[in-house]
Homo-oligomer: A and B are copies of this chain.
Amino acid sequence: MKKYLLGIDLGGTNLRLAVVTTEGQMIEEINVKTESDKGPEYVINQMIEHCREILRKWTIEAIGIGSPGPLDVEQGLILSPPNLPDWDQIPLASILEKALQRKVVLDNDANAAALAEATIGAGKGKESVFYMTVSTGIGGGFVFRKQLLQGAHFCAGEIGNLIVDRDGPPHHTLNIGALETLASGTVVKQQGIERLGITGHAGEVFAMAMNGDKDAKVIVDQMLASLAKGIANIVHTVDPHMIVLGGGVMQSKDYIMPLLLEKVNGYLYPQLRNKVQIECASLGTKAGVIGAALLTQQASIQ
C-alpha cells in the first residue's frame, strides 16, 4: 500500500492541507479560511477534522506543519506569532499527535517553502539553495543537499533580522536597519499609503512605479537596494548555487527582477557579478503545504 505524507500550511488567513507523495507530488488539497479570530481551539479542531477526513481516504505516514514563527521547533510549540493573535505557547505538534496518532513535525513556514522550492521547485537539482520569501515579512531557509539547515538554535534562515543599514524604522523585535524593516511588502505598502495615498497593497506601488510615477520609483528603489544588500550578504556568507525568491511581493516580479539583479551585482565581489543564480519561486502558494509534508522526511540537520 502506497504511503503518503500530509502537509499543513497554517497561515493567518488561509489554512491549507494536502496529501503529498514522498517525492513531493500533491495528490489532493483542502484550502479553507483559517478564521484565526475564532481562537486557537476552534482552528485546531477544524484542522483535526480535516486531517481525519484525509486519514480516512489515504495511508498517511506522517504529518508536517508549516506555521508562522516564532516557534519552538524542538518542542513543537507555537509561541506567539503576530499573524495568529491569541496563540501563545500552543503545543500544536503534540495535540495533533495525540488526536491523530501520527508523527507530527512542526517548522516555520519559510523553512517549509524553502524545502519545497529547493527540492522540487525552482531550485531542483541544485547542490545548495537559499530561499527568501518577501511578503508581509521577510524570511528564508537554506537547503543543502536536499536537507534544511536548521542551525544550532533553529534560527538559520532568519534573514528578516539581517542588518543592512545603520538606520531604519524601530521595531519591537527586529534590529534597527534590519532587512525586514526596509524591504518587506509591508514597508512598501506603508510608504505607498503615506506618500502616494494608495489604499490597497504593495503591488499598487510597483504598478505606479512601472508607469513612471517618480515618488513610487523612489520607494521601490530604496526597497530594492535594501533587498539587494540582504542578498549580497547571504552570497558572501554561504555562496549558494541558487537564490530563490518567493512571497507576495514577487507577484510584481516582471518589473522588480531586472532592477533587483542590477542592484545585487553592484554589491557583489567583481568575480561574482552576473554569476550568482537568482530565480523566482515556481510553486506559488503550494510551496508551503508541499514543503510542510516534506519536512516529515528530513533527518534533523542542525
Residues of A within 8 A of B (CB): 70, 127-128, 142, 144, 149-159, 161-167, 173, 175, 177, 229, 232-242, 267, 269-272, 275-277, 302
A238 touches B236 (CB 8 A): no
Task: Output the residue of A127, A152, A173, A234 with the most chain B CB within 10 A.
Answer: A152
Q: From A151, which residue of chain B is reached at the shortest CB distance?
A: B239
Q: From A161, which residue of chain B is reached at the shortest CB distance?
A: B236
Query: Given A153-B272, A161-B269, list of 17 further CB < 8 A pairs?
Result: A127-B152, A142-B237, A144-B144, A154-B239, A155-B236, A155-B269, A156-B239, A158-B239, A159-B236, A162-B233, A163-B229, A163-B232, A163-B233, A166-B167, A175-B232, A237-B237, A237-B238
* Among B151, B166, B238, contact of A151 (Cβ-Cβ < 8 Å): B238
A162 to chain B, nearest CB (A): 5
A120 to chain B, nearest CB (A): 20
Q: From A270, which residue of chain B is reached at the shortest CB distance?
A: B173
A173 touches B269 (CB 8 A): yes
Q: What's the Cα separation between A194 and B234 when bound, in Å?
A: 34
Q: What's the Cα separation between A166 and B168 when bound, in Å?
A: 10
B229 touches A152 (CB 8 A): no
A155 to chain B, nearest CB (A): 4
**With A128-B302, A302-B127 in contact, is A155–B232 under 8 Å at CB?**
no
Residues of B within 8 A of A277 (CB): 152
A157 touches B270 (CB 8 A): no
Q: From A140, which residue of chain B is reached at the shortest CB distance?
A: B237
Cβ contacts A to B, 20 pairs, < 8 Å: A127-B152, A142-B237, A144-B149, A150-B239, A151-B239, A151-B240, A153-B272, A155-B235, A155-B236, A155-B272, A156-B237, A156-B238, A158-B269, A161-B269, A162-B236, A163-B233, A164-B164, A165-B165, A175-B232, A237-B238
